[in-house]
């Protein structure tokens, strides 16, 4: 690992990349080394990117790996004219990314009041922080039931989530920890798939309540939301309509949203 103390790096670490996977023409994921002593809470994000013309070009990325893992995992969109992702999508095994080792964010257990059922609402690459949360033992110590929903335009975009579930099932320690507490509900909106439609519509028309065993209840349910700004606002309004109050690290509540974007 090359944690170079170079002026141009401005306190960032240079980390070698591995396990690059291109899921669709719009999404890819990769792992990188974890800097020594780098700690974070599952669900947090960091600034990562590339050195471009001698300067770090970084964006906020949720860490998709759990806080106990030796490596860091990221899941990214590809934006054709995005300053960072247009370059980052061409990264190869052994190349280096830069990371500012200052994790922050609100999609963390500390920002939620105790509850019984945890809903994790994601669209697209918004599943990334929840890939971390659903592999964190704290999640299952704090909740009896965890419902991860993932809505994407097309079927192939659901693959990252399916693979995540397979990785959990295939790992002895993880599968024992998770048991039968985790539900994965995935829907598409623009391509045929057994379950279709936006999760906001599922909440309104009762399909989510039917699938999860009850409508959103502020007394027992806690919610984390991650996706586009429009999606965040719509889910937030539905949580508030159900009588939930937004939480933060300093004042935990019944639901939390994350507004960290890529490109």
How far apart, in Å, do the first and last CA atoms of the chain sit?
27
Residues 18, 175, 228, 249: which binds ligand A2P (CB under 6 A)? Answer: 228
Report if residue 230 touches ligand A2P, rule: CB under 6 A: yes
Rounded distance between C-alpha atoms, residue 86 and residue 103, angstroms: 24
Contact of 122 with 150, CB cutoff 8 Å: yes
Interaction residues for ligand A2P, span 138-157 (CB under 6 A): 151-153
**What residues pair up with 187 in beta bridges, in sequence order?**
151
**Distance (Å) of CA 17 to CA 29, 93, 126, 179:** 10, 6, 21, 32
Q: Does 85 bind ligand A2P (CB under 6 A)?
A: no
> Considering the rule CB under 6 A, would residue 62 count as an interface residue with ligand A2P?
no
Which of 65/151 has CB closer to ligand A2P?
A: 151
Measured at the alpha carbon of residue 135, what is the angle toward residues 257 and 25, in degrees to the nearest 5?
70
Contact residue for ligand A2P among 16, 142, 198, 207 (CB under 6 A) = 198
Binding residues for ligand A2P, rule CB under 6 A, total 14
Please calculate the CA angle 130-14-107 and round it to the nearest 5 degrees. Answer: 20
Kindly indicate which of the ranges 38-46, 214-222, 224-232, 247-255 contains the residues binding ligand A2P, using the contact rule CB under 6 A: 224-232
Q: Which is nearer to ligand A2P, 15 or 223 (CB)?
A: 223
For residues 201 and 192, is the Cβ–Cβ distance under 8 A? no
* Binding-site ranges for ligand A2P (CB under 6 A): 123-124, 151-153, 189-190, 198, 200, 227-228, 230-231, 234
């Amino acid at each position: 690992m090359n944690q170079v103390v170079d002026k141009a790096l401005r306190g960032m670490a240079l980390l070698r990349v591995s396990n690059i996977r291109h899921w669709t023409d719009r999404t890819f994921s990769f792992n990188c080394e974890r800097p020594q002593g780098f700690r974070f809470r599952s669900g947090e994000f960091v600034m990562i990117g590339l050195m471009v013309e001698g300067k770090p070009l970084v964006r906020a990325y949720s860490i998709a790996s759990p806080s106990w893992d030796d490596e860091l995992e990221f899941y990214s969109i590809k934006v054709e004219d995005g300053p960072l992702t247009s370059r980052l999508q061409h990264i190869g095994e052994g190349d280096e990314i830069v990371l500012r080792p200052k994790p922050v964010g609100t999609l963390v257990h500390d920002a939620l009041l105790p509850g019984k059922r945890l809903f994790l609402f994601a669209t697209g690459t918004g599943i990334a922080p929840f890939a971390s949360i659903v592999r964190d033992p704290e999640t299952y110590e704090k909740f009896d039931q965890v419902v991860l929903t993932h809505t994407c335009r097309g079927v192939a975009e659901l693959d990252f989530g399916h693979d995540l579930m397979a990785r959990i099932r295939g790992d002895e320690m993880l599968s024992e920890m998770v048991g039968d507490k985790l539900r994965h509900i995935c829907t598409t909106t623009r391509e045929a798939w057994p379950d279709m439609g936006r999760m906001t519509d599922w909440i309104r028309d009762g399909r989510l309540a039917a699938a999860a065993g009850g409508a959103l209840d502020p007394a027992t349910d806690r919610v984390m939301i991650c996706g586009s700004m429009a999606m965040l606002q719509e889910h937030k309004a539905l949580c508030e309509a159900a009588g939930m109050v937004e939480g933060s690290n300093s004042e935990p509540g019944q639901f939390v949203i994350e507004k960290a974007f890529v490109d």
